[in-house]
Chain A
Amino acid sequence: MVNTKIDLGKGLVLRNPVMTASGTFGYGEEYTDFVDMAQLGGIIVKGTTLHPREGNPYPRMTETPSGMLNCVGLQNKGVEYFINTIYPRIKDFDTNVILNLSGSTIEDYVTAAEMINELDNVPAIELNVSCPNVRQGGMAFGVTCSGISQVVTEVRKAYHKHLMVKLSPNVTNIAEIAQAAEASGADSVSLINTLLGMAIDAEKRKPILSMVTGGMSGACVKPVALRCVWQVSKAVKIPVVGLGGISNATDAVEFMLAGASAIEIGTANFIDPAISAKVAAGITDYCERHGFEKATDLVGALEV
């Protein structure tokens, strides 16, 4: 029997290393026909802001080779709606329900974090300081050390459970940003958010996305994500959660070898809605085949 338990600290304990990435798994309810929540370490629900947001105009997505671009722009009904309407429906899922929190001002982040702090069955926030699709989608905070220090420091004061900070790859040195998050009180960092990209319709001489640029995700971003996880895990002591293009158990194991304590499945949920549970089972298989008794033994086990 492989022990797949992962303790990310500050009360966030996963039964296995697999979580689902924000914005790719709805509120979990969309996937209950395909996945038993009890097979997942956690689900990170759709990015939520203090106030409702309509998001960006259509078209919001386009396919790219082995991936996709999106500019959804944090469409959500706000934190109050989440608390009153969605939370009661999903709070008894047999897995960790983690809320992805975004904002445009520090006050918004702090007010929402205080409200989420009161939800007994939400053990963690994933702080989104890296959404590339809205002018003030937090990415302004996430691309400088001072910005991330400011927002993490203030949210830390208001939020007393596990605080995971999601990092943008659209920076010159992601390890420094991660260190700034750690120094400001983050309990873990997750990376990477989408890579800023763009697509053009040459025939029409027009951009394909309504916002011109969008965030790239899918299998094509995996090498970048893996490199970021490798660099960050060497730079910080807090746990690193890896994501970016993970499509199968082998990908997940690679992220763990590079230093991730846990992983998130994102765009792959669109291609195989049952993939998250399959990856969890596949990590166990890998451990058995290679004689690892604990999934944590994989973390940073890369032989360079």
Chain B
Amino acid sequence: MKQITDFKLIEKQDYGRSVWLRFQSEKALPEITAGQFLQVRIDGSPKTYLRRPISIHDVNSESNEISLLVQKVGEGTRHLADTKLGEMVNMVLPLGNGYTLPDDKDEKVLLVGGGIGIAPLFYLGKMLKKKGLKPVFLLGGKTQNDLIRLEEYRKIGEVLVTTEDGSLGEKGFVTQHSVWKNERFDKVYVCGPKPMMKAVFAVTKENSIWCEVSLENMMACGLGACLCCVEKTVEGNTCVCKEGPVFNTRRLLW
């Protein structure tokens, strides 16, 4: 069940272009699946009238905590990043459909993240590990500064890295990483900029690998009411907020 909840900011870590935020609620959290998102209310400016959709980075249902990894791209995310410890932030959650977890714990899974798109893969990796799988992360950025909290990801699974300038890991795009040649994966989970996700999809298609991607079309309601965030799919114009944000690539017209 979805809820509208006030969360208190209890910890934050600033990484310059992005920020990690840990929030706690007094209310019990609803069940949240990896890949779902929430809508944050940004108070204080006429330029942040609508809520901001943000993917859920981590969940601790025992302590009613959620974490967000947010890139400061506009007025809304900058305002959110400026939240001070102890301040309250209102969120609607959980929204949309998350990633599909495999039933078979022997399946080989690759989690491919680009830039801030690494955010939801953290919780996904945790859920996969909990199910007995051994998640492998393949995370790409322009430079090493784009890739943050890698030490946390390493606690969950193997972390492979590409950077466009070669400052960390293999030089190039995620699709150029040697892991694609050396290993065979059963499932590939992707989140990142659309061109990057399309490139990963092309690789999985060529190799007939099951693939799910998370879209981030511009949204208003986040609930499937306004029909603004549609993506063309095999079923026609489909709301990313309600039917997605995670889609199996078979449903997309890419």
A31 at the interface (CB under 8 A from B): yes
A61 to B230 CA separation, bound complex (whole angstroms) = 10
A271 touches B227 (CB 8 A): no
A75 touches B221 (CB 8 A): no
Which of chain B's residues has its CB closest to A61's CB? B228
Given contacts A63-B50, A65-B49, A75-B237, contact A58 B230 (CB under 8 A): yes
A272 touches B4 (CB 8 A): yes
A65 to B50 CA separation, bound complex (whole angstroms) = 10
Of residues 57 to 100 in A, which have CB atoms within 8 Å of B's CB atoms?
Answer: 58-68, 70, 72, 75
B225 touches A61 (CB 8 A): no
A46 to B219 CA separation, bound complex (whole angstroms) = 17
A75 to B242 CA separation, bound complex (whole angstroms) = 15
Q: Which residues of A contact B222 (CB under 8 A)?
A: 270
B218 at the interface (CB under 8 A from A): yes
Interface of A, secondary structure class, is loop
Which of chain A's residues has its CB closest to B1's CB? A33
Q: Which residues of A contact B237 (CB under 8 A)?
A: 54-55, 58, 75
A274 at the interface (CB under 8 A from B): yes
B231 at the interface (CB under 8 A from A): yes
Choice from A33, A220, A270 contacting B2 with Cβ under 8 Å: A33
A270 touches B220 (CB 8 A): yes
A270 touches B227 (CB 8 A): no
A70 touches B230 (CB 8 A): no
Q: Which residues of B contact A66 (CB under 8 A)?
A: 46, 49
B237 to chain A, nearest CB (A): 5
A68 touches B50 (CB 8 A): yes
A271 touches B218 (CB 8 A): no
Q: Which residues of A contact B46 (CB under 8 A)?
A: 65-66, 220
B243 to chain A, nearest CB (A): 12
Interface magnitude class on chain B: 20 to 34
Given contacts A63-B47, A66-B46, A269-B225, contact A58 B231 (CB under 8 A): yes
Q: Which residues of A contact B49 (CB under 8 A)?
A: 63-68, 218-219, 271
Q: Which residues of B contact A271 (CB under 8 A)?
A: 41, 49-51
A209 to chain B, nearest CB (A): 10
Interface of B, secondary structure class, is loop
Of residues 15 to 29 in A, which have CB atoms within 8 Å of B's CB atoms?
Answer: 23-26
Given contacts A218-B49, A219-B49, A274-B4, contact A75 B220 (CB under 8 A): no
A34 to chain B, nearest CB (A): 6
A269 to B2 CA separation, bound complex (whole angstroms) = 15
A24 touches B226 (CB 8 A): yes
A75 touches B227 (CB 8 A): yes
A67 to B47 CA separation, bound complex (whole angstroms) = 8
Q: Which residues of A contact B50 (CB under 8 A)?
A: 63, 68, 270-271
A80 to B227 CA separation, bound complex (whole angstroms) = 20
B218 touches A59 (CB 8 A): yes
A264 to chain B, nearest CB (A): 14
**Residue in B46, B220, B231, B232 whose Cβ sees the most chain A Cβ within 10 Å:** B220
B228 touches A34 (CB 8 A): no
B92 at the interface (CB under 8 A from A): yes
B86 at the interface (CB under 8 A from A): no
B230 touches A55 (CB 8 A): yes
Show the binding face of A for B, using Cβ within 8 Å: 23-26, 30-31, 33-34, 46, 54-55, 58-68, 70, 72, 75, 218-220, 267, 269-274
Known: A26-B224, A54-B237. 9 other contacts (CB 8 A): A24-B221, A58-B229, A58-B237, A60-B230, A62-B218, A66-B49, A72-B228, A75-B230, A270-B225
Offer 5 A-B interface pairs, CB within 8 angstroms, sorted by A: A66-B46, A219-B49, A271-B41, A271-B50, A273-B223
